Amino acid sequence: MFSYRHAFHAGNHADVLKHTVLIATLEHLLEKDTALTVVDTHAGAGLYRLDGDYAGTSGEAADGVLRLVGGGAKPAPPKGAKAAPDAPLADALARYLEVVGDFNPKGGAKIYPGSPFIVHHLLREHDKLKLFELHPTDARTLDANIAQLEAGRQITVLRDDGFGSATKFLPPPSRRALVLCDPSYEIKSDYARVLDFVGEALKRFATGTYAVWYPIIPRPEAHDLPRRLKTMATKAGKSWLHATLTVKSSKITTDATGATHRPGLPASGMFLINPPYTLKPLLAAALPQMAERLAQDRNATFSLDSGG
């Protein structure tokens, strides 16, 4: 259960989607003066080098954030793409790149901020950040990375299971919170644990904003998760938003030698309960550009739905 390392996947297309949504959501919530608590159930190492051994091994950032900053391969055109390649970036996508750029003052994207560092970068002094990470190596790295921020009591790092422990911070004293839940889903039971966690969190704090990232892969649990989250939100009388980004086909192919090639992660989604009302129009403009610029074959597409 401890084999997954986000360092191999930092800056990929899933991170582009997740962090674009995270930034747009967080900045809206920060418009109110009242303190905000952000809880990250699976924080990872917090900060990554895209020119290091881990990210270099997978090369996934080349088809993710590096394309957007001009350092990746030329994208393949997706089905139905309408935006011109040189069209100005949508506000949410431009803001995402601006935040990444803040960690790379000399340009490019050698340093990639994970969710903990993105959140801390945007928080005000009176806001709080609670980070959970169970992977022993990543937890040590996260501790060391966070220590460099000298953030004092603003950030709490816990080497604990976010699924089982994060709800203890709900509701926060200020009654305002954003909870990000993005496990690896390497273990099939993670899908059920996400549902249990969100259900318990809503019972404790019905007005919090909950953001769930998930992979879209050929597994029944992956396709059931957003449907069941939608049902949960609807029964609770809460608004919801569901965004997906597909960059390539999920089909396994066979080459001329008979060797099979698995596509890797073809798509991912973000499901939010109690999302900001500003998020849908921002994503409506940003998602077509993500699908176009991050496309790896002609199957690239996106979806955006909401209710409540």
DSSP 119-185: HHHH--TT-EEEEE---HHHHHHHHHHHHTTT-GGGEEEE-S-HHHHGGGG-S-TTS-EEEEE----
Q: How much is the average pLDDT of 113-120? A: 97
Q: Are 132 and 162 in contact, with CB atoms under 8 Å apart? A: yes
> Can you give the pLDDT at residue 51?
86
Number of other residues whose CB lies within 10 A of the CB of residue 300: 27
Helix (H, G, I), strand (E, B) or coil at 269: strand
pLDDT in tens, 233-292: 999 999 999 999 999 999 877 666 766 667 789 999 999 999 999 999 999 999 999 999
Whether the pLDDT of residue 97 is over 80: the answer is yes
Whether the pLDDT of residue 59 is over 90: the answer is no
> Can you give the pLDDT at residue 1?
38
Confidence bin at 81 (pLDDT 50/70/90): low
Whether the pLDDT of residue 175 is over 90: the answer is yes
> Can you give the pLDDT at residue 3?
43
Whether the pLDDT of residue 196 is over 60: the answer is yes
The number of helices, as runs of H, and strands, as runs of E, in the chain is 10, 12
d(C-alpha 268, C-alpha 302), whole Å: 10
d(C-alpha 297, C-alpha 282), whole Å: 25
Confidence bin at 85 (pLDDT 50/70/90): low
Q: Which amino acid is at 244?
A: T
> Can you give the pLDDT at residue 82?
53
Q: Which residue has the higher pLDDT, 53 or 10?
A: 10
> Can you give the pLDDT at residue 194?
98
Whether the pLDDT of residue 72 is over 90: the answer is no
Whether the pLDDT of residue 27 is over 90: the answer is yes
d(C-alpha 308, C-alpha 291), whole Å: 26
> Can you give the pLDDT at residue 53?
62
Q: Which residue has the higher pLDDT, 139 or 74?
A: 139
Whether the pLDDT of residue 29 is over 90: the answer is yes
Which residues form the catalytic set?
182
Lowest-pLDDT range of 20-34, 69-83, 204-218:
69-83
d(C-alpha 161, C-alpha 194), whole Å: 12
| Residue-averaged pLDDT of the chain | 91
Whether the pLDDT of residue 161 is over 50: the answer is yes
> Can you give the pLDDT at residue 83?
47
Q: Are 38 and 123 in contact, with CB atoms under 8 Å apart? A: yes
Q: Which residue has the higher pLDDT, 229 or 137?
A: 229
Whether the pLDDT of residue 4 is over 80: the answer is no
Confidence bin at 17 (pLDDT 50/70/90): very high
Helix (H, G, I), strand (E, B) or coil at 5: coil
